[in-house]
């Protein structure tokens, strides 16, 4: 069968996604705009305080380390507690942390250590918030519309987090170091209020989270792990994202140094360079529905691995900022398409009562692997050279594409 034939199964629902999805979408827009500003401002702050590659990568690693430590427990908690309340509380806490960091920067006593403490605390909040967010979505829209809803959220992420946010953050940082951090604090505080207006649809009796006999957190975590291991599709997706982030984040944790030293970009140029991937992400979110209906999710997941390996190779070989920017546009298309396909498959494979725990397992592989990759990338770049992590990512993702090619076919009909 030609890979370009229309995938079997019903077409995605075209019904309106509803007001509660609109509120969840608004939360995504607010927090992604604030976080997008910190994509540029955060590394610029750390690099301004300490230009060592290890110091820069340590900030990325510390923000992602909580996913390695707490993702499984956070997933179990999200399945036990009201998901809307977890999301609101986590956003409120992150707003407070950012407000305190803003005050430290304004005081003129900023050093890497308060920044490291803040990014670790933000990472802890993120383990709860992002798991609760992904678990809320299937109770806000019909499961047949999940692909469309995820693509729309991916568009918001691309525009606010990567296209508008980074140059905005770089400009705010150039004007006043504390400004982008205060802006993100406000975004989180407002989003916490919006979350409280969401009214998710409860699952059928006996099937939702919190139903059934009381269990321990350890047994809940074990149940989530067992479910993922017993599902070939989920097991393969977790393995893919683990390898992709172990290898890829080792390179991207050094993004600001790559832009400054390898491409010779200014601080403002760095912010614009980061947005190149977002431009591709916007395109990817627009074409995802068309691609999903015509070639299927398995095709998108398989060939996305090939595109990712080729991206790292191209970035290693070029020293031209314009060429690297074009590569990042294509990479942005890939990341949104691959991520939307993987998220939709995961949500459709998972019953409501396990959404938090399965999401926690996936995030452990995703951002837990990223935290280890960031540390490894910093160490390798420090002692072997800035481009070595990019070469390693090319080889690792290339091998992953070969090994995961056949297992990913199980996702074709979901």
Q: Each residue of 1-32: pLDDT tens digit? A: 233 233 333 344 456 778 899 999 999 999 99
Tell me what the mean pLDDT of segment 299-328 comes to: 90
Task: Indicate whether 3 belongs to any domain.
Answer: no
What token pair was written down for 17? Answer: 């996604």
Tell me what the mean pLDDT of segment 79-100 comes to: 94
pLDDT at 412: 61
pLDDT at 10: 39
Question: Measured between alpha carbons, how far is 392 from 385 in angstroms, rounded to an integer?
Answer: 12
Tell me what the mean pLDDT of segment 119-137 comes to: 90
Task: Indicate whether 35 belongs to any domain.
Answer: yes
DSSP state of 145: G
Question: Measured between alpha carbons, how far is 360 from 11 in angstroms, rounded to an integer?
Answer: 29
pLDDT at 204: 58
Over 70: is that where the pLDDT of 390 sits?
A: yes
Task: Indicate whether 193 belongs to any domain.
Answer: yes
Those residues with Cβ within 8 angstroms of residue 338's Cβ, 6 or more apart along the chain or in another chain: 300, 301, 304, 305, 308
Assign 205 a pLDDT band (cuts: 50, 70, 90). Answer: low
What is the count of structural domains for the chain?
Answer: 1
Task: Indicate whether 89 belongs to any domain.
Answer: yes
Domain hosting 181: range is: 19-199+215-411
Over 90: is that where the pLDDT of 292 sits?
A: no
The residue that leads in pLDDT, 357 or 266, is: 357
Task: Indicate whether 269 belongs to any domain.
Answer: yes
Tell me what the mean pLDDT of segment 301-324 comes to: 91
Question: Measured between alpha carbons, how far is 248 from 394 in angstroms, rounded to an integer?
Answer: 8
pLDDT in tens, 143-168: 778 888 888 888 888 788 877 888 89
The residue that leads in pLDDT, 236 or 260, is: 236
Helix count (H) and strand count (E) of the chain? 15, 0
Q: Residue for token digits 């770089």?
A: 170
The string of DSSP letters for 288-356 reads: HHHHHHHHHHHHHHHHHHHHHHHHHHHHHH---HHHHHHHHHHHHHHHHHHHHHHHHHHHHHS-GGGHH
> Measured between alpha carbons, how far is residue 181 from residues 59, 68, 178 in Å?
15, 25, 6
Over 90: is that where the pLDDT of 233 sits?
A: no
Q: Residue for token digits 């010779």?
A: 264
Check if the beta carbon of residue 303 is closer than 8 Å to that of residue 400: no
The residue that leads in pLDDT, 54 or 24, is: 24
Comparing 85-94, 213-222, 260-269, 289-298, which segment has the lowest mean pLDDT?
260-269
pLDDT in tens, 218-229: 899 999 999 999
Question: Measured between alpha carbons, how far is 126 from 68 in angstroms, rounded to an integer?
Answer: 12
Task: Indicate whether 13 belongs to any domain.
Answer: no
Helix crossing, 321-349 with 267-317: angle to 10°? 80
Over 90: is that where the pLDDT of 250 sits?
A: no
Task: Indicate whether 159 belongs to any domain.
Answer: yes
Question: Measured between alpha carbons, how far is 38 from 222 in angstroms, rounded to an integer?
Answer: 35
Ranges assigned E (strand) in 139-220: none
Q: Which of 205, 60, 84, 206 is nearest to 137 (CA)?
A: 84
The string of DSSP letters for 213-273 reads: S---HHHHHHHHHHHHHH-HHHHHHHHHHHHHHHHHHHHHTTHHHIIIIIS---HHHHHHH
pLDDT at 411: 67
Over 90: is that where the pLDDT of 194 sits?
A: yes
Question: Measured between alpha carbons, how far is 173 from 183 in angstroms, rounded to an integer?
Answer: 11
pLDDT at 171: 92
pLDDT at 1: 29
pLDDT at 91: 95
Assign 293 a pLDDT band (cuts: 50, 70, 90). Answer: confident
Task: Indicate whether 205 belongs to any domain.
Answer: no
Q: Give the rounded percent of residues in the chain with a pLDDT score beyond 90.
A: 38
Q: What is the CATH number of the domain that holds 141?
A: 1.20.1250.20
Question: Measured between alpha carbons, how far is 309 from 393 in angstroms, rounded to an integer?
Answer: 7
Q: Which sign does the torsion angle of CA 326, 329, 335, 341 carry?
A: negative
What token pair was written down for 251? Answer: 């390179």
Over 60: is that where the pLDDT of 335 sits?
A: yes
pLDDT at 375: 77
Question: Measured between alpha carbons, how far is 306 from 403 in angstroms, rounded to an integer?
Answer: 12
Over 60: is that where the pLDDT of 303 sits?
A: yes
pLDDT at 209: 52
Over 70: is that where the pLDDT of 206 sits?
A: no
pLDDT at 2: 31
Tell me what the mean pLDDT of segment 360-388 comes to: 82
Tell me what the mean pLDDT of segment 76-87 comes to: 92
Tell me what the mean pLDDT of segment 331-335 comes to: 90
The residue that leads in pLDDT, 55 or 196, is: 196
Tell me what the mean pLDDT of segment 314-343 comes to: 89
Q: Which of 274, 237, 255, 239 is nearest to 374 (CA)?
A: 255
Average pLDDT of the chain? 84
């Amino acid at each position: 069968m030609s890979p370009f034939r229309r995938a079997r199964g019903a077409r995605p629902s075209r019904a309106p996604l509803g007001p509660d999805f609109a509120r969840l979408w608004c939360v995504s827009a607010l927090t992604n705009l604030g976080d997008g500003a910190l994509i540029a401002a955060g590394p610029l702050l750390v690099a301004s305080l300490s230009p060592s590659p290890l110091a820069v990568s340590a900030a990325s690693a510390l923000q992602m380390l909580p996913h390695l430590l707490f993702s499984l427990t956070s997933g179990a908690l999200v399945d036990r507690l009201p998901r809307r309340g977890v999301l609101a509380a986590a956003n409120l806490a992150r707003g407070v942390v950012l407000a305190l960091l803003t005050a430290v920067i304004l005081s003129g006593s900023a050093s890497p250590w308060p920044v490291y403490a803040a990014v670790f605390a933000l990472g802890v909040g993120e383990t709860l918030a992002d798991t609760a967010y992904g678990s809320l979505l299937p109770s806000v829209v019909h499961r047949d519309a999940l692909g469309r809803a995820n693509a729309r959220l991916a568009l918001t992420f691309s525009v606010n987090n990567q296209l508008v946010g980074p140059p905005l953050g770089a400009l705010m940082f150039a004007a006043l170091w504390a400004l982008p951090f205060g802006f993100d604090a406000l975004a989180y505080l407002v989003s916490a209020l919006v979350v409280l207006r969401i009214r998710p649809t409860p699952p059928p009796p006996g099937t939702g989270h919190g139903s059934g006999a009381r269990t321990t957190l350890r047994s809940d975590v074990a149940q989530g792990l067992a479910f993922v291991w017993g599902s070939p599709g989920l097991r393969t997706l977790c393995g893919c994202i683990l390898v992709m982030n172990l290898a890829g984040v080792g390179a991207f944790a050094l993004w600001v140094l790559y832009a400054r030293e390898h491409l010779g970009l200014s601080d403002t140029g760095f912010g614009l360079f980061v947005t190149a991937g977002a431009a591709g992400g916007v395109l990817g979110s627009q074409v995802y529905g068309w691609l999903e209906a015509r070639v299927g999710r398995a095709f998108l997941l398989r060939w996305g691995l090939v595109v990712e390996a080729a991206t790292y190779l191209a970035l290693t070989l070029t020293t031209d900022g314009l060429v690297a920017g074009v590569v990042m546009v294509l990479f942005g298309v890939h990341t949104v398409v691959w991520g939307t396909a993987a998220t939709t498959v995961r949500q459709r494979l998972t019953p409501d009562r396990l959404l938090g725990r399965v999401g926690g397992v996936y995030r452990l592989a995703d951002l837990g692997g990223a935290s280890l990759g960031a540390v490894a990338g910093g160490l390798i770049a420090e002692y072997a050279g800035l481009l070595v992590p990019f070469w390693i990512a090319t080889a690792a993702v290339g091998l992953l594409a070969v090994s995961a090619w056949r297992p990913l076919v199980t996702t074709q009909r979901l």
